[in-house]
């Protein structure tokens, strides 16, 4: 059998640069700040850094609105700063992948400035332009060419007065969608990708990459009537030419290159059936995908900002399905957290009494699945959601647009705020908490987003030398993946699928077996397991409140164990 790819035993750490470390005191994190904190990543033991966008951008969506793909935004530093960072990451034996945001550009990108300048500009067809819907005048409600809702609230079309046509933006109006039907667009993207690979980067995380393929007929889609994010967009998941585009990208950009690269496609709406195709190495598309099924299970009737309690059985069914689907061919990513998701210890754990136990229990459950784990900055410290006093303390365009649209529609502002406090993306974007000093050692200036007051006790300095800390638990989990082949390559078998509070599964490879069993609740649980585990070694535990006897495991609140035999 061919050797397993290097990323099957790798752990990726996501840096959201504006909130990681600020070296120049302007209150926004930067490349020099990140370079000064690489000891933290090396101590944690991660293999790859995924760097969220640092390109030139008006920052309408914190850099996911790019105005020059081959320049570093001054707020983060210079290309020289980037080259220095990359050299330092490589010198420490780590890799660095960039965030590829090519479903859309900023409306301030020169390409869009040309495209919008006239209907017969050579770059007109680099974006999606359409006249008002038949029977409607430009600007009239309902004149939008399709019924698609933006992910950031409101219609996905904006009228450009100058040429009397609408342009498509699945996200904010400052993020016009590129037209991937146009080969000129595709080749401009591939040129840019090759430029970054030639500069030495080790791959890409690809932003909403499954959305780049739309049906050129631009048909209306089914809507829920609640104006849900992305409502009506008929290709939520897999557009008509997505496999063709990804295979062309892989051929044009990666084929013939020696070296070890990583590609992960972020794919809202992707199913495990699609993922089998996207991640089948024989198809040359991407190495793994970010799915959204497991992080949408707590979305209520009203969608993302109308959360409901998670039923653990739903989570086990979802992740178990993905483990089974990609067991033979393809590969899973593993994540709870990123810059778009609330902090897992607040969302699914207990950020009060059982903060440490619940943070480490969720980490244990994730990291020992088959797949490549992604650690989002601060997750390794057990960072929590932040206590936003009101929407005035929030910065995220998705939240601010949602708040405005809901309040305009007459929804009680307190109800809207409750959803934003629980699920808003700013929760993940508060500055990393390095120590107990003012602003948590993140900046010497005024932070762009308030530092969580709990940094007084919840910070890296307080955890480095505490063997029971969240940080050291993540370090041991990552160490297990590097030490035991069964973690990376072992078969996966879900246990206790119907238990509402305990998550348990087995891994097996070449006669080595692991049992992962975690109590994901605040009440004690006792579960039956195969008696063969009674004399197994406990290779990792987050508490003393657990006991293994013949055929039984007793688990205190949020207790998580890893047994090996
Ligand atoms: O999580 C989400 C689904 O409701 C959205 O918050 C998120 O926008 C979506 O998953 C797509 O995310 C990616 O593309 C966006 C950018 O705002 C996100 O930060 C990025 O991760 C547009 O580029």
CA 305 to chain centre: 17
Q: Do the domain assignments include residue 32?
A: yes
The pLDDT value recorded for residue 130 is 98
Q: Do the domain assignments include residue 478?
A: no
CA 527 to chain centre: 33
The boundaries of the domain holding residue 115 are 110-168
Q: Is 207 a catalytic residue?
A: yes
User: Is residue 400 domain-shared with residue 287, that is, in the same domain?
Assistant: no
Q: What's the token pair of residue 292?
A: 């959204």
The pLDDT value recorded for residue 397 is 97
Q: Do the domain assignments include residue 246?
A: yes
Go through 39-72 and write b for each residue having 16 or more CB atoms within 10 A of its CB, e for each that does not: ebbeebbbbbbbbbbbbbbebbbbbbbbbbbeeb
Euclidean distance between CA atoms 377 and 370, whole angstroms: 22
Euclidean distance between CA atoms 419 and 84, whole angstroms: 41
Q: Do the domain assignments include residue 88?
A: yes
User: Is residue 316 domain-shared with residue 306, that is, in the same domain?
Assistant: yes
Give residue 224's pLDDT band: very low, low, confident or very high (50, 70, 90): confident
Q: Which atom of ligand 1 is nearest to the CA of 303?
A: 4
DSSP string, 158-193: EEETTTTEEEE-SS-TTSPBB-TTSHHHHHHHHHHH
The alpha carbon of 151 and the centre of ligand 1 are apart by a number of angstroms equal to: 8
User: Is residue 308 domain-shared with residue 358, that is, in the same domain?
Assistant: yes
User: Is residue 382 domain-shared with residue 404, that is, in the same domain?
Assistant: no
CATH of the domain at 17: 3.20.20.80
The pLDDT value recorded for residue 231 is 81
User: Is residue 439 domain-shared with residue 512, that is, in the same domain?
Assistant: no
The pLDDT value recorded for residue 2 is 66
User: Is residue 240 domain-shared with residue 348, that is, in the same domain?
Assistant: yes
Nearest CA to ligand 1 atom 19: 340
Q: Is 81 a catalytic residue?
A: no
Give residue 235's pLDDT band: very low, low, confident or very high (50, 70, 90): confident
Nearest CA to ligand 1 atom 16: 64
Nearest CA to ligand 1 atom 11: 208
Residues with CB under 6 A from ligand 1: 61, 64, 101, 151, 171, 207-208, 229, 266, 268, 304, 339-340, 398, 425
344: CB partners within 8 A, 6+ apart: 336, 337, 359, 362, 379
Q: Do the domain assignments include residue 150?
A: yes
User: Is residue 395 domain-shared with residue 384, that is, in the same domain?
Assistant: no
Q: Which atom of ligand 1 is nearest to the CA of 172?
A: 22
User: Is residue 269 domain-shared with residue 415, that is, in the same domain?
Assistant: no
User: Is residue 413 domain-shared with residue 441, that is, in the same domain?
Assistant: no
Nearest CA to ligand 1 atom 2: 340
Ligand 1: which of 151, 333, 347, 399 to mutate, most ligand atoms within 8 Å of CB? 151
Q: Do the domain assignments include residue 198?
A: yes
The alpha carbon of 335 and the centre of ligand 1 are apart by a number of angstroms equal to: 15
Distances (CA, A) of 504 to 101, 368, 413, 463, 560: 37, 11, 41, 28, 10
H/E element, 155? none
Q: How many domains does the chain have?
A: 4
Euclidean distance between CA atoms 342 and 257, whole angstroms: 37
Give residue 104's pLDDT band: very low, low, confident or very high (50, 70, 90): very high
Strand 502-509, strand 512-519: pairing:
antiparallel
Strand runs (DSSP E) across 161-297, as ranges? 165-168, 203-206, 262-266, 288-290
253: CB partners within 8 A, 6+ apart: 190, 193, 194, 197
Residue 518 has pLDDT above 70, yes or no: yes
* 156-204 pLDDT, tens digit each: 999 999 999 999 999 999 999 999 999 999 999 999 999 999 999 999 9
Ligand 1: which of 337, 340, 398 to mutate, most ligand atoms within 8 Å of CB? 340
User: Is residue 448 domain-shared with residue 425, that is, in the same domain?
Assistant: no
User: Is residue 144 domain-shared with residue 191, that is, in the same domain?
Assistant: no
Give residue 206's pLDDT band: very low, low, confident or very high (50, 70, 90): very high
The alpha carbon of 340 and the centre of ligand 1 are apart by a number of angstroms equal to: 6
Q: Do the domain assignments include residue 400?
A: yes
User: Is residue 96 domain-shared with residue 118, that is, in the same domain?
Assistant: no
Q: Which atom of ligand 1 is nearest to the CA of 397?
A: 17
CATH of the domain at 115: 3.90.400.10
CATH of the domain at 512: 2.60.40.1180
Mean residue pLDDT across the chain:
97
H/E element, 491? strand 491-495
Q: Average pLDDT of 466-480? A: 98
Give residue 223's pLDDT band: very low, low, confident or very high (50, 70, 90): confident
What values do phi and psi take at 524, rounded to 5? -65, 145
Q: Do the domain assignments include residue 2?
A: no
ipTM above 0.90, yes or no: yes
Query: Among 2-11, 60-69, 84-93, which is the least confidently predicted range?
Result: 2-11
| Percent share of the chain, pLDDT over 90 | 95
């Amino acid at each position: 059998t061919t050797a397993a790819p290097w990323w099957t035993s790798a752990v990726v750490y996501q840096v959201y640069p504006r909130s990681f470390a600020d070296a120049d005191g302007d209150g926004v994190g930067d490349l020099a700040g990140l370079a000064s904190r690489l000891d933290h990543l090396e101590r944690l033991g991660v293999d790859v850094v995924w760097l969220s966008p640092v390109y030139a951008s008006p920052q309408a969506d914190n850099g996911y609105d790019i105005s020059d793909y081959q320049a570093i935004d001054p707020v983060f530093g210079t290309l020289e700063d980037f080259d220095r960072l990359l050299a330092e990451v490589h010198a420490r034996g780590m890799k660095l992948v960039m965030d590829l945001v090519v479903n859309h550009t900023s409306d301030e990108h020169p390409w869009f400035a040309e495209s919008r300048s006239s209907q017969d500009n050579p770059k007109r067809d680099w974006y999606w332009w359409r006249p008002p819907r038949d029977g409607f005048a430009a600007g009239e409600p309902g004149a939008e060419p399709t019924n698609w809702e933006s992910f950031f609230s409101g219609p996905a079309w904006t009228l450009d007065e100058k040429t009397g046509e609408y342009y498509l933006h699945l996200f904010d109006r400052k993020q016009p969608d590129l037209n991937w039907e146009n080969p000129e667009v595709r080749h401009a993207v591939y040129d840019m990708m090759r430029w970054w690979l030639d500069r030495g980067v080790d791959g890409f995380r690809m932003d909403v990459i499954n959305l780049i393929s739309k049906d050129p007929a631009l048909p209306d889609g089914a809507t829920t009537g609640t104006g849900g994010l992305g409502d009506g967009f008929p290709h939520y998941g897999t557009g008509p030419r997505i496999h063709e585009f990804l295979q062309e990208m892989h051929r044009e950009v990666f084929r013939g290159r020696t070296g070890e690269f990583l590609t992960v496609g972020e794919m809202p709406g992707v199913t495990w059936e699609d993922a089998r195709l996207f991640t089948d190495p024989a198809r040359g598309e991407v190495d793994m995908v970010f799915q959204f099924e497991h992080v949408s299970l707590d979305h209520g009737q009203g969608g993302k900002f109308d959360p409901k309690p998670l039923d653990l059985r739903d989570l086990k069914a979802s992740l178990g399905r993905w483990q089974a689907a990609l067991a033979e061919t393809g590969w899973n990513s593993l994540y709870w957290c990123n810059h778009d998701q609330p902090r897992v210890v607040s969302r699914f754990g207990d950020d009060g009494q059982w903060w440490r136990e619940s943070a480490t229990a969720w980490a244990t459950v994730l990291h020992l699945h088959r797949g490549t784990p992604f650690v989002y900055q601060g997750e390794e410290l057990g960072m929590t959601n932040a206590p936003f006093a009101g929407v005035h303390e929030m910065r995220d365009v998705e939240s601010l647009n949602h708040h405005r649209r809901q309040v305009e529609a007459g929804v009680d502002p307190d109800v809207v705020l409750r959803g934003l406090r629980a699920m808003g993306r700013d929760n993940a974007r508060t500055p990393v908490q390095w120590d107990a000093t003012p602003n948590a050692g993140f900046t010497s200036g005024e932070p762009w987003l308030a530092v969580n007051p709990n940094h007084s006790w919840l910070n890296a300095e307080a955890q480095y030398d505490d063997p029971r800390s969240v940080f050291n638990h993540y370090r041991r989990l990552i160490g297990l993946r590097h030490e035991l082949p069964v973690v990376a390559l072992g078969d996966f078998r879900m246990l206790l699928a119907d238990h509402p509070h305990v998550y348990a599964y087995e891994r097996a490879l070449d006669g080595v077996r692991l049992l992962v069993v975690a109590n994901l609740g605040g009440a004690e649980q006792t579960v039956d397991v195969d008696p063969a585990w009674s004399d197994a070694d406990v290779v990792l535990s987050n508490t003393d409140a657990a006991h293994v006897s013949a055929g039984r495991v007793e688990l205190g609140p949020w207790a998580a164990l890893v047994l090996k035999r």
